[in-house]
């Protein structure tokens, strides 16, 4: 690492990058406020989406994508919501709005918005599916926690790009975990920095805990008797990486994550969940 940038200095600069985050736009702020509500009014959600032509166009592109195999074209946001349901549409719009907001950040050369967004969306989709089939604490937060779990990596890339490049190189050459390399060179890990983002945005505490502990769910004591949300994010994160949907291109042989998901409690539901994941992910990709 550059001798001028000590781990304590790297930590300070990474945290300072939080100041570069743009504020929520009105639609995103309203959607965040509905996270615990499954009864979001169809007309309310449609009104929010229809006020943004780009957003409405992307929603229609997704619902009309080949992944959903519809014989007739969907031409209105209200019809799209009726087909997909308010919760799924809310998740789609959340992903789009967060991705749009983050594109306003100045990112270093070599950083792939596309890979970052696709990994975040894939993790969110699979975590949400796991929450539908397993007894997970605060299941309604699975999508947003999956979407936000790696924001700390983005903050590293914004605030200390050269130092973070060294972290990635050390991880690749040493075979050590990202957390070990981040702690050694930067004095802070990406889950800690992700937590700082979610605190700034005032997201629900269970979502913050899930993101903070998604690499170490055994340290998360927030869900006695249930699978913690942090465990669900860890499983989803691992699985999508094994599918090759990762921040950096995979450089080794990919493993089949199905046995891991089956063992975590999905059992015979595993194939059905993975089929639903691939279908939804292919559809979502068309909107980014």
Which tens digits make up the pLDDT trace of 275-288? 999 999 998 886 66
Q: What is the dihedral of CA 213, 214, 215, 218, to 10 degrees?
A: 60
What pLDDT score was predicted for residue 73? 87
Token pair for 188: 């802070």
Higher pLDDT, 221 or 94: 94
Higher pLDDT, 195 or 83: 195
What pLDDT score was predicted for residue 223? 65
Q: What is the mean pLDDT of residues 247-263?
A: 87
Token pair for 216: 């170490």
The CATH homologous superfamily to which domain 1-21+109-288 belongs is Hypothetical protein af1432 (1.10.3210.10)
Mean pLDDT of the chain: 87
Using one digit for the tens of pLDDT, what is the confidence trace for 123-164? Answer: 999 999 999 999 998 898 999 999 999 999 999 999 999 999
Q: How confident is the model at residue 211 (pLDDT cuts 50, 70, 90)?
A: very high
Residue 1 has pLDDT above 50, yes or no: no
What pLDDT score was predicted for residue 261? 93
Token pair for 144: 């947003």
Q: What is the mean pLDDT of residues 156-181?
A: 90
Asked whether the CA dihedral 288, 55, 141, 66 is positive or negative, the reply is negative
Q: What is the mean pLDDT of residues 194-223?
A: 90
pTM of structure: 0.91
What are the domain boundaries of the chain? 1-21+109-288, 24-104
Three-state DSSP string of 156-201: HHHHCHHHHHHHHHHHHHHCCCHHHHHHHHHCCCHHHHHHHHHHHC
Distance CA 209, CA 220 (A): 7
Distance CA 288, CA 242 (A): 22
């Amino acid at each position: 690492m550059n001798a001028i940038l000590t781990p304590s200095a790297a930590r300070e600069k990474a945290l300072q990058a939080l100041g570069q985050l743009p504020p929520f736009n009105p639609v995103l702020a309203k959607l965040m406020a509905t996270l615990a509500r499954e009864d979001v009014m169809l007309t309310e959600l449609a009104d929010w989406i229809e006020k943004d032509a780009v957003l409405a166009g992307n929603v229609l592109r997704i619902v009309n994508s080949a992944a959903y195999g519809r014989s007739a074209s969907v031409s209105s946001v209200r019809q799209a919501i009726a087909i997909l349901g308010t919760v799924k549409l809310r998740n789609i719009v959340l992903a789009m709005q967060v991705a749009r907001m983050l594109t306003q950040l100045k990112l270093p050369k070599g950083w792939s918005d596309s890979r970052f967004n696709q990994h975040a969306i894939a993790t969110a989709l699979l975590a949400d599916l796991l929450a539908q089939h397993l007894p997970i604490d605060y299941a309604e937060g699975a999508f947003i926690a999956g979407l936000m779990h790696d924001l700390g990596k983005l903050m590293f890339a914004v605030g200390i790009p050269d130092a973070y490049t060294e972290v990635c190189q050390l991880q690749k050459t040493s075979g050590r975990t990202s957390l070990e390399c981040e702690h050694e060179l930067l004095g802070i890990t990406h889950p800690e920095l992700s937590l700082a983002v979610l605190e700034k945005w005032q997201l629900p505490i269970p979502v913050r805990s899930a993101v903070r502990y998604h690499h170490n769910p055994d340290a998360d004591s927030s869900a006695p008797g249930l699978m913690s949300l942090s465990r669900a994010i860890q499983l989803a994160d691992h699985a999508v990486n094994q599918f090759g949907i990762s921040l950096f291109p995979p450089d080794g042989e990919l493993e089949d994550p199905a046995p891991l998901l089956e063992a975590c409690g999905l059992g015979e539901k595993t194939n059905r969940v993975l089929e639903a994941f691939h279908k939804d992910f292919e559809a979502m990709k068309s909107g980014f």
